[in-house]
Amino acid sequence: MKPIILVGFMGSGKSTIAKELARIYSWPLIEMDAAIEDNMKMSISDIFSEYGEDYFRELETALLQESVNRKAVIATGGGILSKKVNQEILKKQPLVFYLEGSFETLNRNIKQDKVNKRPLAKGNNDVQLKKLLNSRLSTYEDIASYIIPIDNQSVTDIVLKIQQVIKEMV
């Protein structure tokens, strides 16, 4: 069985949904941002400010390359597709779920986070954030094996939908 991989913009619930799927299937969870923070013993914000975004993206690629060989549930970071090499890696995977939400839903979720750990959301106003989302939309759609709408859906609804797809596949 191949890994279950979640992609989508910041605030789409990748971490929450991945955690739930990992629990249900009793598979290891790879939360990429958290794993990078653990490995580096630094927060994502500090990695961005001390080493720059490009360095963070290199760490992401290395971890992705390693993670896709594992039977695990993988929550990627929202910018994982900004590198072509990551797109190529993910295109070969059969279980890439894109959690697709409107800007309103995503922005609400981002703003609801008590601690804003996201350097790209912190410095960006709504117009810039929407622009970033729009610049990524077609790549998410292109790379995804399945598109899962999240607007007005509960975590349970979304998890059930993903489970249904997996059940039909195997």
149-168 residues in contact with ligand S3P (CB under 6 A) are: none
Single out the segment in contact with ligand S3P by CB under 6 A; choices: 64-72, 77-85, 94-102, 153-161: 77-85
Residue 51 beta carbon to ligand S3P: minimum distance, rounded to whole angstroms? 13
Exactly one of 3, 5, 33, 159 binds ligand S3P (CB under 6 A); which one? Answer: 33
Q: What is the size of the binding site for ligand S3P (CB under 6 A)?
A: 10
Identify any residues that bridge with 74 across adjacent strands, giving them in sequence order. Answer: 5, 30
Give 86 or 118: the residue with its C-beta nearer to ligand S3P. Answer: 118
Exactly one of 4, 5, 6, 10 binds ligand S3P (CB under 6 A); which one? Answer: 10
- Which two structure tokens, joined as six digits, stand for 93? 């995977």
Q: What does the alpha-carbon distance between residue 153 and residue 107 come to, in Å, rounded to a whole number?
A: 16
Neighbours of 74 (CB within 10 A): 30
Alpha carbon of 105 to those of 55, 91, 120, 162, 170: distances in Å? 30, 26, 17, 19, 32
